[in-house]
Structure 1
Amino acid sequence: MTSIDLNADLGEGFGRWTLTDDERLLSVVTSANVACGFHAGDAVTMQRVCELAAGRGVRVGAQVSYRDLAGFGRRAMDVPPAELAAEVAYQIGALEVFARAAGTRVSYVKPHGALYNRVVHDQEQAEAVVAGVRLAGAALPVLGLPGSRLLERAAEAGLPAVTEAFADRAYTDGGTLVPRGRDGAVVTDAEAVVERSLGLAHTGQVVSHTGAPVAVRARSLCLHGDTPGAVELARRVRERLTASGVRVEAFA
């Protein structure tokens, strides 16, 4: 039987402002990418999501990013490698405090937004992220795009490299994500997202924005929590995966 992890970006609120329906999404996903305060999230939000995740048996992951609250971590930034490594470790450490207090732990690390896309090709920034994970003191799995510099550097450093796919994002012919600023970068048709999820789980393929088949073999499938109808869409995806013989379970 094929198995796959379902992950979602959670805890992306700040103060009185909320974005994702964390409680309901945690009843569907198996891994939670928790914002650690740099692109979104704050201490209270991190604590609450960790408690909810622990109560549901959902794995907690540190979603690390550039320090960019105003731009939601989606603006390109040039951060010196040593500084980026320290900031990655800082974010992991902050989340670990709340995870342990909730009776769980940080089980993996995933970059967010501009940092996620940067470390696909930028070796220096990828090495800095890996250095930050190691600085945090644990051999945590790193979640990223197949073929990325990040996963290559993680594997070289002895960290488990976990491949990820996106059912609701458009792909280029080269297997990278179409930038969000372009038309069609986000797949909004619910049935299309479901069908893409099934294809990724069963065949390891997705259709690119030009209509070409692209190999994307992934252990984890990301469903964005900030899209309209995210909870119901996530439920549909999980139900259809299970009905097709796919075992939905956390990778970590």
Structure 2
Amino acid sequence: MSSTARSAAVDLNADLGEGMGDDAAMVQLVSSANVACGFHAGTPALLRRTCEQAVAAQVRIGAQVSYPDRDGFGRRFMEIETDDLIADVLFQIGALTAIARSVGGTVDYVKPHGALYNAIVSHHEQAGAVVTAVGESGLALMGLPGAVALDLARAQGIPVLTEAFADRAYTPEGTLVPRSREGAVLTDSATVAGRVVDLVVSGELTAIDGSTIAVQADSICLHGDTPGAVDHARAVRTALAAAGIRVQHR
């Protein structure tokens, strides 16, 4: 075991409150919870219960904001006017903040979901809208390394959290392979766990074409709705522990 691994720590996050996975199990295995805000999934009662579980587990809460797209689970790109998108994001943050506060918690960061997450990697207008809303909320922004939104946030003094994905394939350019493409979602727990350890130790991942790419990540996502999500998370925790890597948010 390397000295780097012994001293390393990593934040594990999961998308929760969507009504699709075993949130009660996942919240025991991660250090940050991206809680849905109702626009792509979740009901107020479910979100409150999820926040309550996160508080009990001492897990950090983030607002998982989305396009208003419940029918498409927030995975369809939408053309939205800048002022409307700012208001949509602020509305979601405000709602989840109130819900978290009701159970003794706080919302500490914002992570866009699905198509919005991918859009603000390169869509300047929507990235600007999201950053404006996050800045007005006083929270940190979590996103993909190299995203336009993160560059804008840094320029405005907004705290940034970079993220990698344990169970998603990457292009050679460092972006996520579209879910419509075969092999975009990884389903083998051992493979997922091995990728996480490699990423923490080396800062690198293998892209879908076999090339090696550098990925700087403050947090690693384990999707709560991926088939076998809890098994993946348990395998990741076991592999990290074996490598001497702590799980904690920064």
Do they superpose with TM above 0.5?
A: yes
Tell me, which stretches of 5 or more residues in structure 1 are unaligned? 14-18
Report how far residue 102 of structure 1 moved: 1.0
Q: Which of 3, 11, 16 pairs up with 1:10?
A: 16
Q: 2:189–2:231: 8 Å Cα contact kept in structure 1? A: no
| Deviation by residue 1:57-113 (Cα, 9 ceiling, x = unmatched) | 000100001000000000111011111011000000000001111111001000000
Map of 1:129 onto structure 2: 130
Report how far residue 247 of structure 1 moved: 1.5
Counterpart residue type for residue 2 of structure 1:
A
Distance in 2 of aligned mates of 1:70 and 1:104: 29
Counterpart residue type for residue 203 of structure 2:
G
Distance in 2 of aligned mates of 1:119 and 1:88: 13
Counterpart residue type for residue 67 of structure 1:
P
| Deviation by residue 1:143-184 (Cα, 9 ceiling, x = unmatched) | 100011111111112111111000110000000000111111
Q: 1:88–1:132: 8 Å Cα contact kept in structure 2? A: yes
If the length of structure 1 is used for normalisation, what is the TM-score? 0.95
Deviation above 6 Å: which 4+ runs of structure 1? none
Map of 2:186 onto structure 1: 187
Map of 1:16 onto structure 2: none
Aligned pairs for 1:5-154 within 5 A: 5-13=11-19, 19-136=20-137, 138=138, 140-154=139-153
Counterpart residue type for residue 229 of structure 1:
G
Q: How large is the RMSD of aligned CA atoms in angstroms?
A: 0.8
What is the aligned-residue identity percentage? 54
Distance in 1 of aligned mates of 2:69 and 2:245: 37
Distance in 2 of aligned mates of 1:99 and 1:118: 27
Q: 1:208–1:214: 8 Å Cα contact kept in structure 2? A: yes
Report how far residue 42 of structure 1 moved: 1.4
Q: 2:10–2:220: 8 Å Cα contact kept in structure 1? A: yes
Distance in 2 of aligned mates of 1:106 and 1:61: 5
Counterpart residue type for residue 106 of structure 2:
R
Counterpart residue type for residue 176 of structure 1:
T
Q: Tell me the number of residue pairs that the alignment of Structure 1 and Structure 2 aligns.
A: 244
